[in-house]
Amino acid sequence: MSDTNRLTRLVVLLLLVMPQVLTAEPFPSSYRAARDAGWAEAVLRVSDPKAFIDFAESVAGWQVKGPIEGEWWISDAEGGVGAIRLITRPHQSMSIERYQPWETGGLFSVMTRSNDLSAAYERARALGWGSANIPVTLDFGGVKLSNVVMRGPDGVNVAIYERLQPRMADAADLLKLRRPFNAMQVVRSLADARRFYVDVLGFSVIATGRFQAPRGTPSNFGIPPSLAADAALDYLILGGTPAGPTQVEVVSFNGLEVGARPRDQLESQGLIALRFPVSSLDRMRDRLAAAAYPHESVHTPMPPFGSVKMLRLLSPEGARLEFFELP
With cut-offs at 50, 70 and 90, classify the pLDDT of residue 12.
very low
Instruction: With beta carbons less than 8 A apart as the criterion, state whether 192 and 236 touch.
Output: no
Per mean pLDDT, which range of 81-95, 183-197, 224-238 is the poorest? 81-95
More confident call, 14 vs 78 = 78
CA distance 24 to 304: 6
pLDDT digits (tens, 9 = 90+) for 139-184: 887 899 999 999 998 889 999 999 999 999 999 999 999 999 999 9
Domain boundary assignment for the chain: 29-325
Topology (CATH level 3) of domain 29-325 = 2,3-Dihydroxybiphenyl 1,2-Dioxygenase; domain 1 (3.10.180)
| The model's pTM | 0.88
CA distance 29 to 53: 24
